[in-house]
Structure 1
Amino acid sequence: MTPTTAQPETTAAAPTGWDLGDVVIHRIDEIALPPQTGPWLLPGVTREVIDEAPWLRPDFADADTPHLASHTFAVEIGALRILVDTGIGNAKTRANPAWNDLHTDYLQRLAAAGFPPESVDLVINTHLHTDHVGWNTRLSYGRWEPTFPRARYLTSRTEWDYWAAADMDDSRRQMFRDSVHPVRDSGRFDLADVPEHGHEVADGVRLIPAPGHTPGQVAVEIRGTDRSALITGDSIHHPVQLSHPHLTSCVDIDPDRAIRTRNQLLAGLADTDALLLGTHFPHPTAGVVRSHRGSYRLLAEPNTRTRP
């Protein structure tokens, strides 16, 4: 994301989780992104656009600026522990000052939710952008080592192949050196072929192709005994894109494809009880999609967890 002049604030919301029956999804906070991020990332989101969706205020936007956050989702399925995306990470050299050399308590929050690093079985990277792979690794005695020593790390083969052939700038090459290549070199990095109907990675967990933001991005469908949920990756950056699905981000590689993907995902979720969980949606983060005035809106469900 765009360079900013100040470090973002660490988020301080209470622990949040959603019960799907036999599955629990936890939101693990990293940081609230600076106010400048919204206008840069979503330049089409003006005050007038927000005015057309008053349900966005006060949680998802203020008078004229969308709010954004960085968090990950930790999923309990029986004894299986899955982490979807890994945020920005600590002690990483980044071109964006708001992301550079962070020192957050993310790992402590993850452990408090019942996910100490050694307990994680699978890490899913929805795509290989800096703010989705950062905690893949942590600094140990001057070397970048996989943060989750028992886990397999997974992304789509299409995503990997795209970046392997891309002419990357220095900052993106640095991100691959400190957050992706050490996992690959450890032998813990796997690639999944994700066809149109999706790819089942565990019982109740399916990767759904969500191209546009990047060519091989996936969303993650989680199915419990009571209901299902969809974790967006960056196919939907902000709830304003429910009311205005045509609004694209300035970092979408294929904006037209991103719009088609977003419309397809929202149409499948609309007027069902399935939860939509946004990777950059600020608190309350999740909700159900409802048809609204020829488009959609989000009815928030801040926390449905009932188990200790």
Structure 2
Amino acid sequence: MNTELLHANFGWLHAPPFPPACCHCLIIRSEAGLMLVDTGIGMLDIKAPEERVGREAMQDAGFQFIESVTALAQIQQLGYSATDVSDIMLTHGDPDHVGGLADFPEARVHLAAEEKQQLETDDPRYRSAQFSHRPHWVTYDINDADWFGMPSRCVDTAVNIDVRLIPLPGHTSGHCGVAVQTEDRWFLHVGDAYYLRGELTDPQHPIGELAAFRATDNAQRLHSLARLQTCINEHSNAFDYCGYHDTSELPESVPGFEEIR
């Protein structure tokens, strides 16, 4: 089955003095339809931002509510409808990653069991309103395959391609990267394992202070970052990768913040 990996930005965050940050997601397109990696800021977030995102998060992260940037708007521009999205792989459950889930109520939503368990607590970093449509959760708790020396969890999707959750905990307890096999090589979306790619080579990167503040377990986050760096150094010829917020990783074809605003 021919599979195409499309890079998209499903949201903007801007909280000066920090520069604008994107919500870099993936669209996996095949003859069977579409799958997504994370969903960015959704349509319902735009309609009821305080209820779904929360005033504090809106201000601290600088959520920008732009309808044309949402996942639903962009897949419609590609000629698809919400029902064409069969599966969504989540790196984790923070509000800027899951807002679009409700726009695809029929999709199966895949995530680590540890993250799903945390979503069901009263942890203030998660917003229960974003899950009130009762997603079709599919959880994974067993590392059942090796992925370039890292443990992985095989994802059961509607499309016959190899998709893995790669545990990279620390930012949240169940944070995972998502690896997708294309025809010629793998692609790894690392989620928020780093905010900026420079963290992989600079242990004193200025953004590290914010990353540490946002981490559920910073020591675990740093360990995951080190494991990721080792994997990239040893197997960079086998896969490409990106994070969620680094605008320099977006293709040139994706409009920048100033263009959208």
TM-score interval for Structure 1 and Structure 2 normalised by the shorter chain: 0.7 to 0.9
Residue pair 1:68, 1:282 contacting (<8 A) in 2 also = yes
Aligned partner letter, 2:141: D
- Distance apart, 1:197 and its partner CA: 2.3
Aligned counterpart in structure 1 of residue 35 of structure 2, from 79, 82, 91:
82
Cα pair distance change 1:230/1:131, threshold 3 Å: same
Consecutive unaligned residues in structure 2, runs of 5 or more: 144-149, 254-261
Give me the TM-score of the superposition, normalised by structure 1: 0.65
Residue pair 1:136, 1:183 contacting (<8 A) in 2 also = no
Q: Could you tell me how far apart the structure 2 residues matched to 1:284 and 1:164 are?
A: 33
Find out whether 1:265 has 2:216 as its counterpart: no
How does 1:31-110 map onto structure 2 within 5 Å?
A: 31-34=11-14, 36=16, 38=18, 67-89=20-42, 90-91=46-47, 92-93=49-50, 94-95=54-55, 96-97=58-59, 98-99=62-63, 102-105=65-68, 106=70, 107-110=72-75
Cα pair distance change 1:78/1:236, threshold 3 Å: farther
Q: Secondary structure at the match of 2:173?
A: coil
How does 1:158-197 map onto structure 2 within 5 Å?
A: 158-165=114-121, 167-169=122-124, 172=125, 175-176=127-128, 178-184=129-135, 188-195=136-143, 197=151
Alignment partner, residue 200 of structure 1: 154
Residue pair 1:32, 1:70 contacting (<8 A) in 2 also = yes
Alignment partner, residue 217 of structure 1: 175
Aligned counterpart in structure 2 of residue 134 of structure 1, from 96, 99, 102:
99
How does 1:115-154 map onto structure 2 within 5 Å?
A: 115-137=80-102, 147-154=103-110
Cα pair distance change 1:80/1:110, threshold 3 Å: closer
- Distance apart, 1:114 and its partner CA: 4.8
Greater mean alpha carbon deviation, residues 22-31 or residues 127-136: 22-31
Q: Which runs of 4+ in 1 moved over 3 A?
A: 245-248
RMSD: 2.5
Q: Secondary structure at the match of 1:190?
A: strand
Aligned partner letter, 2:134: V
Q: 1:246-269 CA deviation, whole Å, 9 max, x = no partner?
A: 653020111111111112112212
- Distance apart, 1:245 and its partner CA: 4.4
Give the percent of matched residue pairs that are identical in Structure 1 and Structure 2. 23
How many residues in Structure 1 have an aligned counterpart in Structure 2? 223
Residue pair 1:72, 1:84 contacting (<8 A) in 2 also = yes
Q: Secondary structure at the match of 2:194?
A: coil
Whose helix proportion is higher, 1 or 2? 2
Cα pair distance change 1:31/1:162, threshold 3 Å: closer
Q: Could you tell me how far apart the structure 2 residues matched to 1:74 and 1:284 are?
A: 15
